[in-house]
Amino acid sequence: MQHQSFVSDAEARRRYWARSVLGWRHFSRARPNPAHQALAELERTGALTGLITQNVDRLHQRAGQRRVIELHGALADVRCLHCGELEERDLLQQRLLALNPGWTERHVEIAPDGDAELPPEVVRDFRVASCASCDGTLKPDVVFFGGSVPRERVAAAWECLEGASALLVVGSSLAVFSGFRFVRGAVARGIPVALVNLGTSRGDELAALRVELRAGEVLPALAALLGAVSS
């Protein structure tokens, strides 16, 4: 979803929310995997001092991670573009279902990110909920394509990096600049960078170490090794 399309086109918003209602029940049931759990364990042992993520699924927090900087926000929150009021996505789901009874009975294919394909003639019948406080336009509290990461989040991420002795990049091609800039910043500060990723990454030439294996295999082993050393 393009940021400008969402904020300026009512039909684009209708299409987004019509699909989101179908996908949310699947997306919200996702649970942390061994990589999420290993990162949380690394934080508990003191090896990891902070986590900067481009993910919007809150799985790091579900795994027990405490210091998480969500660069692109989280789908669990919805914000009014007029008054700024925040609403939980679960509560909005209830309001959307009340406005569109029987909507979730449709049989559609759901993508892993919760997206769902719907024909235009079906979307036209969908009713979009507005802000419960001011009747304004609601938007998921995430950074869409073409949007900007809030300055305070960027500042918090730089602060996290400043105190690090190393930067570990997990499961990212670093194609999006909002994450890649921290790799460049680490190198400029003399902070070594390690990459764990299947396939090539934009940061390969900047990394002091590159591991081409699944994060779910590497991180639990790393957590166990560092836990054994610290004990």
Q: Where in the chain is the domain with CATH 3.40.50.1220?
A: 34-71+147-230
Distance (Å, rounded) from C-alpha 150 to C-alpha 200?
29
Contacts of 171 (CB under 8 A, 6+ apart): 35, 196, 197, 198, 215
Tokens of 29: 């049931």
Tokens of 217: 């295999």
CA angle (64 as vertex; 90, 195 as ends), nearest 5 = 105
Q: Are 170 and 52 in contact (CB under 8 A)?
A: no
Average pLDDT over residues 110-122: 76
CA torsion through residues 200, 109, 13, 56, sign = negative
Predicted confidence at residue 107, as pLDDT, reads: 66
- Considering the entire predicted model, what is its pTM? 0.91
Tokens of 194: 């390690």
Q: Measuring CA to CA, which residue among 166, 92, 159 is closest to residue 129? A: 92
Instruction: Please check whether the domain covering 3-29+74-142 is classified as CATH 3.30.160.
Output: no
Predicted confidence at residue 186, as pLDDT, reads: 97
Average pLDDT over residues 170-178: 92
Catalytic residues: 72
- Predicted confidence (pLDDT) per residue in 128-141, tens digit: 999 999 999 999 99
Return the percentage of the chain with pLDDT > 90, whole number: 84
Predicted confidence at residue 115, as pLDDT, reads: 73
> Cα 9 to chain center, whole Å?
24
Instruction: Please check whether the domain covering 34-71+147-230 is classified as CATH 3.40.50.620.
Output: no
Distance (Å, rounded) from C-alpha 129 to C-alpha 95?
7
Q: Does the structure show a pLDDT above 90 at 63?
A: yes
Predicted confidence at residue 229, as pLDDT, reads: 64
Angle, helices 89-99 vs 10-27, to 10°: value is 110
Backbone φ and ψ for 44, nearest 5 degrees, come out as -65, -35
Predicted confidence at residue 104, as pLDDT, reads: 84
The residue with greater pLDDT, 116 or 219, is 219
How far separated are the first and last CA of the chain, in Å rounded? 47
Q: Measuring CA to CA, which residue among 177, 175, 176, 215 is closest to residue 195? A: 215
The string over 110-137, giving b where at least 16 C-beta atoms fall within 10 Å of a residue's C-beta and e elsewhere, is beeebbbeeeeeeeeebebbebeeeebb
Predicted confidence at residue 129, as pLDDT, reads: 98
Q: Where in the chain is the domain with CATH 3.30.1600?
A: 3-29+74-142
What is the pLDDT of the chain when averaged over all its residues?
93
Average pLDDT over residues 221-225: 95
- Predicted confidence (pLDDT) per residue in 65-105, tens digit: 999 999 999 999 999 999 999 999 999 999 999 999 999 88
Backbone φ and ψ for 38, nearest 5 degrees, come out as -65, -40
Predicted confidence at residue 227, as pLDDT, reads: 80
